[in-house]
Amino acid sequence: MPAAYENYARVYDSIGQPRFSLSMITFIVAELERLGITGRRLLDLACGTGSAALEFASRGFEVAGVDASRAMLREARRKAVSGARSVEFVEQDMSRLSLRREFDVAICLYDSVNYLLALEEVALTVEATRRVLRPGGALIFDFNTPREYQRLDGRDTVAVDSE
């Protein structure tokens, strides 16, 4: 994982990055109900600093979060301890999952699928996730399309005023 995540992890939450993932939780819970998925075992792929994972845990889900960035996971674990919530955070590449648990649902939020740059990596991730999902489980994710990337003008700026 790039060294840039060492510094990015420290400011990730303070610049509002978890906002989208947190806004998806109500939708995901409703989608699970619509799909008839009543199990409460959730895997958060590319969990970052763990905001969504910790929120699902606070709603009674048994959660594991996977991320390839040690720095992001360090922040996630710090938040879990300070919030007294139990989530297992595991450092792994989501395209090469090696978990010995089974989940009812896997999520991959905030365009994290777009970190997979080759179609082969996407296929590996879907297959790896399928192996850890119970029969009838679901994978829920979002991503940016090529059209969305064409709209980006390169002028997006993040400014942080903090210690």
Q: Extract the tokens encoding 6.
A: 């060492």
- Residue 152 belongs to some domain of the structure: no
pLDDT at 15 over 90: no
Strands 62-67, 41-45: pairing kind: parallel
pLDDT of residue 77: 95
- Residue 149 belongs to some domain of the structure: no
Domains identified in the chain, total number: 1
State pLDDT tens for residues 65-93: 999 999 989 999 999 987 767 899 999 99
- Residue 40 belongs to some domain of the structure: yes
Structural domain for 125, as ranges: 4-143
Whether the Cβ atoms of residue 46 and residue 139 lie closer than 8 Å to each other? no
State pLDDT tens for residues 25-68: 999 999 999 999 999 999 999 999 999 999 999 999 999 999 99
Whether the Cβ atoms of residue 82 and residue 19 lie closer than 8 Å to each other? no
- Residue 118 belongs to some domain of the structure: yes
DSSP 66: E
pLDDT at 162 over 60: no
Neighbours of 154 (CB within 10 A): 4
CATH code of the domain covering residue 136 = 3.40.50.150
Q: What is the pTM of this model?
A: 0.84
- Residue 160 belongs to some domain of the structure: no
Average pLDDT (81-107) is 90
- Residue 49 belongs to some domain of the structure: yes
- Residue 163 belongs to some domain of the structure: no
Q: Extract the tokens encoding 139.
A: 């994978």
Average confidence score pLDDT of the chain: 84
Higher pLDDT, 144 or 53: 53
Share of the chain above pLDDT 90, in %: 56
Query: Inter-axis angle of helices 25-35 and 51-58, to 10 degrees?
Result: 60
Structure-derived torsion over alpha carbons of residues 8, 13, 16, 17, reported in degrees to the nearest 10: 60
- Residue 34 belongs to some domain of the structure: yes
